[in-house]
Structure 1
């Protein structure tokens, strides 16, 4: 219970303080390049996410950072739990936005940062919104921003990776950027498997070899989706074996 109190107190308590910096950052935007501004904005979400993970008392390891390419990428990851975003924000130095359900807009301050991070809001009950989110994400990638997407569409809660919805592949093909697959193991152990109580967990993140845009273009959508999903699935199995052998 103490972990939960510490974690959520920081999650919401840090945000009002960060708005001071957010206003300063926005004023600097006209003088900065896309990459410079994204990197500047990334500093606060990364501090926020690092503080959250510290308070869960979890041990997070990440491998494959050397595989990060230059320029915009579409990060494609499996989705275990609610702590996937804080884990990735705290550990990946490359700035990125992500696709989020529209309900997040009702939260205080968080949406203000998400808009500056180039996040895209999706209403999953509205087909038009889903199509617009694809178009918006393609536009942001073409502008030079990186975006993270969870193609399962919902958390697996550690019950095995679900099927990948096809929208992410349309985004990849239309934007012409590489896909950076990510495998995550262990985030569901922080909350989802504990009746929503926050407990320490061992979390492993692995960045896989990027899949170049020309390779994606040569494959049909079904083949490309299978390629990405199988790579992530194989990596998760490897991470699971490593955990078992410890």
Structure 2
């Protein structure tokens, strides 16, 4: 049976790749033009094209997104979204399901990918985790972004979770920025991305559902850096408990 399904899987992967690149090529000229509008204004314009790309690709390849609101935002104040990270599909999903405008923190290595790297460079705040000075620059840029009224998105686990645990340990960055800027954190869960793209290998991509759970925000009003460990643990516990409830 597996031998019969394998050719179908590769036809599906080829189709998904063509749609992925095709829509990207379609929006690339507009992203190039928007890149001249500046870091904030141009970046916001770019995200509306990326929203179109994500909203086109996912249904085209049979991946259907379901939103579950435990909290539905009514205001437009910036948030720090903290999201579990299990596969590379998370980033493609984020631009289609998070409230615009926002900027994610992303690995600087992704800028080296042909074509995609140009878009990535203008869409994320890149971070080189191997360089302390580069990490500090990224944090300063994220803080400046929030102060311009733009939300940010951080995967606090830092990298994809390849374990059987709901979450791996969190880094401090998102919580430090939240306290310094007094910006509320909103935990968000991506439930099925690991099933749609197991082990982040494109040859394992498959159609199906992707559920997004928007959890209530966590206020940091009045907190200082002394509260950081407790805040980080609070958010971890909230997300872990909710993830376990869906297993």
Deviation at 1:214, TM superposition (A): 0.3
Q: How many matched pairs?
A: 234
Mapping 1:154-165, distance limit 5 Å: 154-157=159-162, 159-160=164-165, 161-165=167-171
- In the alignment, the residues of structure 1 paired with residue 200 and residue 175 of structure 2 have an alpha-carbon distance, to the nearest angstrom, of 34
Equivalent pair of 1:178/1:213 in contact (CA under 8 Å):
yes
Out of 204, 209, 234, which is 1:202 matched to? 209
Q: Which residue of 2 aligns with 1:148?
A: 153
Out of 68, 75, 78, which is 1:72 matched to? 78
Mapping 1:10-49, distance limit 5 Å: 10-26=19-35, 29=37, 39-49=44-54
Unaligned runs of 5+ in 1: 241-246
- In the alignment, the residues of structure 2 paired with residue 107 and residue 239 of structure 1 have an alpha-carbon distance, to the nearest angstrom, of 35
User: 44-53 or 70-79: which moved more?
Assistant: 44-53
Deviation at 1:209, TM superposition (A): 0.9
- In the alignment, the residues of structure 2 paired with residue 121 and residue 51 of structure 1 have an alpha-carbon distance, to the nearest angstrom, of 25
TM-score norm. by structure 1 comes to: 0.83
User: 231-240 or 214-223: which moved more?
Assistant: 214-223
Out of 99, 106, 110, which is 1:100 matched to? 106
> What is the root-mean-square deviation in Å for CA atoms of aligned residues?
2.5
- In the alignment, the residues of structure 2 paired with residue 121 and residue 219 of structure 1 have an alpha-carbon distance, to the nearest angstrom, of 27
TM-score norm. by structure 2 comes to: 0.83
Do the aligned partners of residues 228 and 69 (structure 1) sit closer, same or farther apart at CA in structure 2, a change above 3 Å counting?
farther
